[in-house]
Amino acid sequence: MRAVFSTAALLFLTTIAAAQTSQSPLAPPAVKSAKPAGTVTLKVGDKAPPFALQNGDGKLVSLSEYTAKAPVVVIFYRGFW
């Protein structure tokens, strides 16, 4: 009886594990994106091209404002909140 129960439990758990996807349910859906025309591919150590983005307060901030003061490390990350 124990062997039958163990086999059934193992089969059940294997079925559940196989049905799950590798993507977290909290992550946004994966989107296939093509490179837009005119994109620049950078490698580690390359200098970033000039750009400007809005900060958290909505003020436009350019990279050149900061590189004029000191060296800058630019990191892009995907935030989900």
Residue 2 falls within a domain, yes or no? no
Mean pLDDT, the chain, whole residue set: 76
In the chain, the number of structural domains is: 1
Residue 79's region, left for phi above 0, alpha for psi from -120 to 50, else beta, is beta
Q: What integer pLDDT is reported at residue 25 of this predicted model?
A: 60
- Could you give the C-alpha distances from 13 to 25, 34, 56, in angstroms and in order? 19, 38, 45
Q: Is the pLDDT of residue 51 over 70?
A: yes
Residue 25 falls within a domain, yes or no? no
> Do the Cβ atoms of 62 and 51 come closer than 8 Å?
yes
Residue 50 falls within a domain, yes or no? yes
Residue 23 falls within a domain, yes or no? no
Residue 71 falls within a domain, yes or no? yes
Residue 53 falls within a domain, yes or no? yes
Residue 18 falls within a domain, yes or no? no
Full residue range of the structural domain in which residue 57 is found? 43-81
Residue 22 falls within a domain, yes or no? no
Q: What is the pTM of this model?
A: 0.41
